[in-house]
Structure 1
C-alpha cells in the first residue's frame, strides 16, 4: 500500500478529477461468498421469508472511548446527540465546512464512554483526522474490513436477520418472545449460550435485527440461527444479493467525499490522508470541476438527520442551504426496452454499452451518471442495479426538485465517453436509457409499513 498523501497524488496528476476517474481502485467488495443459493432467491428471501446476511467483513469499525468521545462525534456530525444514551444507534452524517457531504456511518453507543462507528472508511478517516489534530481525551481502535485487514479476524461478528419471518427465527433461536425494541435501539439476546446484542433495523427496508458480539462466539451463534431458520424459510444471502439491498431501502452507500476544496482544513486533511484511501469515480458525469460531483445531506434525503442544536463543522453553510435545498433523492426505474437493448449490444458488433454486471451494475466506488431531461443535465444517478423482487433495473439518484415528481420521464447516460483508464472499464460507448422517477424507498413496504414504525 502506497504511503503517498492524497495532496501529493493530486499534485502529481494535476487535478482531483483526473486522479479519481483513472485510479486503479475497484468498486467496494463484500468479502463473503458471492451466493449461497442464487442471488435472485436470496433477494426474494428478505421480501418473502427471512434472509441472513453476514456483515462481519465489509465495513470498517472505529472504536472511540473516553470522556470526550461524545464531544468529538458531536463536533463533526450534523445529527443531534440529545438523549443519545447507551444502547442507541444513529446514522452519523458528516460534512465539510461548506456543508458538502464527507460521508455517513452507523454509530453505536455501546457503553457510557464507548462508541463504535461502523461504515466506509471515508467518514472514519475524517473522524480520526480530527482526533489527531485536536485535544480530545479519546482513545481510538480501528478495525479494518477483511479485504484489507493484515492480521486476524474482525473484532465482532455481525449477522443481519431481515424479512417477514425474522422475528419468528429470532424467537426460536432465543427461546423467548422478542422484547419491544424501537427502531435503531439495541437489546440483548441469549443465543447458543452467548449474550448477543441486537440493533433493531433492516438493510432492505424489511423488519429485522443486526446481531453482533465477540468474533470467537460467532460460529456458535450462526449455527443456532441457521437451525432456528429451517422452518421459517431462512436463506443465507451472499455478496451479490446483499450489495443490492440498499436499492430497495433507498440508502446511497458511497457518495464521493467532498474533501478537495481550497478550505485550509481540507488542505490539511489531504496532506494527512493517504492517496490509497480514496476510491475511483465512474460514470458519465465528466465535469473538470470536482465540486460538480459533490452532494449535500439534502440531496440524498438526510435532511431528517440535520439538527441545529449544537455546533459542528459545516453548520453555518447547512443553515443557509436548508432554506431552499435545490435537489431531492428519488428512485429511477430504467426503461425495460432500453436496458434490453443495452444488454443485447454485448452480443452485437462492438463497441456496445458498458457491461452491466448483474445484479449490481455499479463499477466504481463512487458511481456518478448524468440524468437528463430535454437534453439538459438535471441530476445525478448514484447507485444502480437489478431488483428481482420488482423485476426492475433501478438507480438511486438526486434530481432538481422540479423533476422529482413520480412519473417524470428522464434519461440516464450509462457509461463513459471518452473511456477512462480504470481497469474495470472496457472499450464501449455511452448509452442513453430512459427512466421514470419513482418514490424512495422504492419498495412500498419500506415506504409505508416499515418506515412509519
Structure 2
C-alpha cells in the first residue's frame, strides 16, 4: 500500500521559487537567504506537570541538562529499538514544550500522554495543508541562512545578539517585536559561516517581521528562498528526512494503529525508490542505522532502551554523501526525454523527490552495501548529490559505487511516478559534506 500510495504530488503552500532556485541556493553561501517555514511543519504543544517525565520515558536523548530555552533533535523508538520518527523539541517554559516537524513523533507522544495516564494537555497546530476550513496557524516560522545573517539580525534587533552554540535557543526582537530563535541550519554545513536561525513568534506579527527582515537585508543582498531551494539545502548539510515509522507490523502496537487517523501522516505515507521489499520491517531502521546514534544515551530508562543497548554493539551503516557521475546524469536527462517507453526515471531538477520516504539501492559490484535517500542538485557544489547510509567497510572517501535509479517493473502506481526503466548511476563516496565550487 505504501509503495503504491494513491496520494498525489505534494502541493507547497508557499512558492516553489521567488526568483530562480539557482540564485536562492547561492544566497546561503554568498549573502543570506530567507525562507518561510510557517506552513509545512506541524506544531504540537505539551503542557503539564508530567511533561518532562513523558519526554524522558519516550525519547532516546539525554535530559540531564534539560530546561526551558533549550532544544533537542528528539528521537522516539519502539520497544524493538526501531525509529518511529524525529522532531525538533523546544523547551518553551517550565512544563511546556513544542514538538515541531512531521507528525509521527508528536503522534506517538500524544498517544502515550493520553493512554499512560500522564498529567498533560495537548494542543495541536496542524500544518497549513491540514488546517480545518477557516483555520490558521498560531505562529509564524522563518529560516534565515548565510554569512550575512548576523548583520541582518543585529540590524532588526537594534543591537548585537546573544552568542549561542549550534542548536541553542535565544531571544531577540525584530523591529521591536519579540521573537524566539534556534541556531541551526537547513542549508550549507552545520558550524560554518552559513549557519542560520529558525525564528518564530505570534502569527499576528508574521507580516511585520517578514517585511522588517526584507528591509534590513536589502543592503546585504538578502534573497527570498522558495520550496525548491529550501529542500535542496538540507541535502547539502546531510539531512536524510524521516524514516519509515516502525509502527505497521508489531502486534503490541495494534492499539496505537487503531488510535491513529486513517488519513494521517502514517496512513498517507508513501515509499519510493529502487529498494523494494514485500516486508515492511525491511524499511525500519534504528537510530544507529539512520546516523542518529549520538542521540541515544543510556542515562535513563526509555522505550526501546534494552533493544538499543544490544544494537549498539552491532555493526552499523555510516552516513555519507554520494556525488553522482556527471556523464551518467546527462544520460538520464536525455533518456527520460527522448527514449519513449524505455526512458529512465526523470530527474526533476533541482529536487528529484517523488515520495515521502525514498530509498535507492547502492551497490559495490553486485553486493548491496546500503541505501541512498534524498537527492538534489545545487549550484554550490555543482553536481547531483544524495545522502546515503553505507556499510562501514564501504564508507570510504573516494570509493566508487553504483546507485540504482528508478523503480521496479516500470514504476509503482504512485501518481508522482511516470512509466520508466531502472538504470544505474556511478557515484563517489564522500564522508564529509561536498566542497563548494
The equivalent residue for 1:360 is 351
Matches within 5 A, 1:61-140: 61-140=43-122
Asked if 2 retains the 8 angstrom alpha-carbon contact of 1:284 and 1:370, the reply is yes
Which residue number corresponds to residue 226 of structure 1?
214
Compute the displacement of 1:263 (Å). 4.1
Q: 1:347 corresponds to which residue?
A: 337
Which of structure 1's runs of 4+ aligned residues deviate more than 6 A?
A: none
Contact 1:373/1:411 (CA < 8 Å) preserved in 2?
yes
Q: Among residues 296, 317, 339, which one is paired with 1:327 in the alignment?
A: 317
Return the match for 2:383 from 379, 392, 395: 392
Given that residues 92 and 98 in structure 2 are in contact (C-alpha distance below 8 angstroms), is that contact kept between their aligned partners in structure 1? Answer: yes
Tell me whether 1:426 sits opposite 2:418 in the alignment.
yes
* Residue correspondence of structure 1 range 17-416 to structure 2 within 5 A: 19-26=1-8, 29-150=11-132, 151-204=134-187, 205=189, 206-264=194-252, 266-277=253-264, 278=266, 279-351=269-341, 352-416=343-407
On the 8 A contact 1:27/1:280 being kept in 2, the answer is no
TM-score by length of 1: 0.91
Name the residue aligned to 1:7: none
Offset of residue 347 of structure 1 = 2.8
Change (3 A) 1:118 1:427: same
**How far apart are the structure 2 equivalents of 1:177 and 1:236?**
23
Instruction: Indicate conservation of the 8 Å contact 1:99/1:296, yes or no.
Output: yes
Which has the larger displacement, 218-227 or 125-134? 125-134
Are the equivalent residues in 2 in contact too, given 1:108–1:115 (CA < 8 A)? yes
Contact persistence 2:157–2:176 (CA under 8 A): no
RMSD over equivalenced CA pairs, Å: 1.5
How many equivalent pairs are there? 426
Contact map agreement 2:144 2:198 (CA 8 A) in 1:
yes
Cα contact 2:9–2:416 (8 A) shared by 1: no
Q: CA deviation at 1:193?
A: 2.1
Q: If the length of structure 2 is used for normalisation, what is the TM-score?
A: 0.95
Change (3 A) 1:413 1:420: same
Offset at 1:29?
A: 4.9
> What SS does structure 1 have at the residue aligned with 2:345?
coil
Deviations 1:197-254 (CA, angstroms, capped at 9, x unpaired): 1111121132211111000011111111110000111001001100111111111112
Residue 30 and residue 73 in structure 1: after superposition, are their counterparts in 2 closer, same or farther (change >3 A)? farther
Whether the 8 Å CA contact 1:328–1:404 is kept in 2: the answer is yes
The 8 Å contact of residues 153 and 161 in structure 2, kept in 1 or not, is answered as yes
Measure, in 2, the Cα distance between the counterparts of 1:27 and 1:250. 24
Structure 1, 401-410 or 23-32: larger mean CA deviation: 23-32
Partner deviation per Cα, 1:5-62 (whole Å, 9 max, x = no partner): xxxxxxxxxxxxxx10111124655421111110111011001110101111100101
Residue 11 of structure 1: aligned partner: none
Once residues 325 and 310 of structure 1 are traced to their aligned partners in structure 2, the CA distance between those partners, rounded to angstroms, is 24
Say whether the 8 Å CA contact 2:381–2:434 is kept in structure 1. Answer: no
User: Is residue 421 of structure 2 the alignment partner of residue 438 of structure 1?
Assistant: no
* Secondary structure class of the residue paired with 2:15: coil
Gaps of 5+ in 2: none
For structure 1, the 5+ residue unaligned runs are 1-18, 446-453
**C-alpha distance in structure 1 between counterparts of 2:35 and 2:232, whole Å:** 12
